[in-house]
Chains A and B, each alone.
Chain A
Amino acid sequence: MDEIQEILEDFLVEAFELIEQLDQDLVELDTRPEDLKLLNSIFRVAHTIKGSSSFLSFDILTKLTHHMEDVLNKARKGELKLNEDIMDVVLESIDMMKTLLHCIRDNGNDTAIGMDLDDIITRLEAVSEGKEIPEGSEEVVKEEPKEIKEPEKEVSEADYAKMSDDEVEAEIERLLSEKKAEAKKKRAARESKAAKEPAKSAATPNATPTKSAPPAKKQATTLEQTIRVEVSRLDHLMNLIGELVLGKNRLLKIYDDVEERYEGEKFLEELNQVVSAISLVTTDLQIAVMKTRMLPIAKVFNKFPRMIRDLSRDLGKGIELQISGEETELDKSIVEEIGDPLVHIIRNSCDHGIEDGETREQWGKSKTGLIELKAYNEGNSIVIEITDDGKGLDADLLRSKAIEKGMISEQEADSMSDKEAFALIFRPAFSMAAKVTNVSGRGVGMDVVKTNIEKLNGIIEIDSEVGKGTSIKMKIPLTLAIIQALIVGAQEEYYAIPLASVSETVRISLDEIYTVEGRNVLRLRDEVLLLVRLSDIFGVKQVYEPGEYAYVVVIGLAEAKLGLIVDTFIGQEETVIKSMGDYLQGINGIAGATIRGDGGVTLIVDIASLMDMAKGLKVNIRESMQSKNKVKTKPEDYTILIVDDSKMDRTIMKKSIDPIGIKIIEATNGQEALTMLKSGEHDIDIMLIDIEMPRMDGYTLATEIRKYSRYKNLPLIAVTSRTSKADRLRGVESGMTEYITKPYSPEYLENVVRKNTKLIAE
Chain B
Amino acid sequence: MADKLNQILQKQQQQIHQPDKADEDIIQLVGFIIGDEEYAIPILNIVEIIKPIEFTRVPSVPEYVLGVFNIRGSVIPLIDLRRKFNLTPMNNTGDTRYIVMKGEDNTAGFVIDRLTEAIRIKANRIDPAPDSVGGDKGMIYGIGKREDSMLTILKVESLLKRDF
Residues of A within 8 A of B (CB): 243, 246, 493-494, 537-540, 578-585, 587-590, 592-593, 595, 599-603
Contact = CB atoms under 8 A, between A and B. Distances in A.
Contacts of B162: 582-585
A581 B70 contact: no
A584 B59 contact: no
Interface in B30-89: 54-61, 65, 67-70, 73-77
B152 interface: no
Given A593-B68, A600-B54, A582 B59 contact: no
A369 to B, nearest CB: 50
Contacts of A580: 58, 68, 75-77
Contacts of B107: 581
22 contacts: A246-B73, A494-B56, A538-B59, A539-B59, A539-B60, A578-B75, A579-B75, A580-B58, A580-B75, A580-B76, A582-B162, A583-B108, A583-B162, A584-B68, A584-B77, A590-B59, A595-B73, A595-B75, A601-B67, A601-B68, A601-B70, A603-B59
A589 B58 CA distance: 10
A582 B105 CA distance: 8
Contacts of B74: 578
Given A582-B105, A582-B162, A583-B108, A589 B59 contact: yes
A582 B103 CA distance: 11
B29 interface: no
B139 interface: no
B106 interface: yes
B59 A600 contact: no
B140 interface: no
A602 to B, nearest CB: 7
B115 interface: no
A600 B56 contact: yes
A590 B58 contact: yes
Given A582-B105, A583-B108, A595-B70, A603 B56 contact: yes
A532 to B, nearest CB: 14
Contacts of B61: 584, 587
A540 B69 contact: no
A243 B73 contact: yes
B156 interface: no
A599 B55 CA distance: 10
Given A540-B59, A581-B108, A600-B56, 20 more contacts: A243-B73, A494-B56, A539-B60, A580-B68, A580-B76, A581-B76, A583-B108, A583-B160, A584-B77, A584-B162, A588-B60, A589-B59, A590-B58, A592-B75, A593-B75, A595-B75, A600-B70, A601-B55, A601-B69, A603-B68
Contacts, number: 74
B75 A601 contact: yes
Most buried by B among A580, A600, A601: A601
Nearest to A587: B60
Nearest to B160: A583
Nearest to B55: A601
Contacts of A581: 75-77, 106-108
Tell me the dominant secondary structure on chain A's binding face: mixed
A32 B160 CA distance: 68
A587 B73 contact: no
Pairs of residues from A and B, 4 with the lowest C-beta to C-beta distance, nearest first? A538-B59, A601-B56, A593-B75, A578-B75
B111 to A, nearest CB: 15
A599 B70 contact: yes
A582 B56 CA distance: 17
Contacts of A600: 54, 56, 70
A588 B58 CA distance: 10
Contacts of A601: 55-56, 67-70, 75
Contacts of A539: 59-60
Contacts of A578: 74-75
A589 B57 CA distance: 13
Contacts of A243: 73
Contacts of B105: 582
Contacts of B54: 600
A111 B107 CA distance: 52
Given A246-B73, A581-B77, A587 B108 contact: no
B58 A582 contact: no
A587 B77 contact: no
Contacts of B56: 493-494, 593, 600-603
Interface string B100-125: 00000111100000000000000000
B70 A587 contact: no
A243 B75 CA distance: 12
A582 B163 CA distance: 11
Nearest to A592: B75
A596 B162 CA distance: 26
Contacts of A590: 58-59
Contact of A589 (B55, B60, B65, B77): B60
Contacts of B59: 537-540, 587-590, 603
Nearest to A600: B54
B50 to A, nearest CB: 13
A593 to B, nearest CB: 4
A740 to B, nearest CB: 34
A539 B58 CA distance: 10
Nearest to B57: A493
Contacts of B75: 578-581, 592-593, 595, 601
A582 B74 CA distance: 13
Given A538-B59, A600-B56, A584 B73 contact: no
Contacts of A494: 56
A585 to B, nearest CB: 8
Nearest to A246: B73
Contacts of A589: 59-60
A72 to B, nearest CB: 57
A583 B58 contact: no
A246 B70 CA distance: 12
Contacts of A599: 70
A578 B57 CA distance: 16
A704 to B, nearest CB: 15
